[in-house]
Every structure is written in structure tokens, then in C-alpha cells.
Amino acid sequence: MNTLQNERFMLSPCRELYHYMMLKKGYEASDADALVRKYARSALARNAEISELSLAKMFEAIKKDNN
């Protein structure tokens, strides 16, 4: 995966998900960061299509994938 693809399919969605979790879901910054690092990055690496979902659906897909 080149740098542009990495930004588009992993880094940008992770940043947006991190902010979504804090602002909309009420997570503490450290908890949101831990969940993004532990689950979101690996989920996006396995399935780039997740990055095209809305933040709410992305959050639910990642949460469901890791339960």
C-alpha cells in the first residue's frame, strides 16, 4: 500500500473515528486512542471497504468484528 492509499484507507479514517468516539460516543481520549490502535487499524488493514462507511457504521463494524 503506498503512502496515498495508506492515508486514504487507514490514517484518515482512524483520525475521524477517534474524534467521533470522543465527541459523539463520549469516550475518553486515552480509551478512544487505545481502541483505534488496537482494533481499527487492523480492521482497516484487513478490509479497506470499511473506510468507505459512515463513522457510525464504521464504529459498529469494528466493534462487532472484535466482540
Parse the chain into domains and list their residue ranges. 7-65
Total-model pTM: 0.85
Amino acid 14: pLDDT:
94
pLDDT at 7 exceeding the cut of 70: no
pLDDT at 5 exceeding the cut of 70: no
Nearest to 51 by CA among 23, 11, 24: 11
Per residue in 20-64, pLDDT tens? 999 999 999 999 999 999 999 989 888 889 989 999 999 999 988
**Which residues, including other chains, have CB under 8 Å from residue 29's CB and lie 6 or more apart?**
22
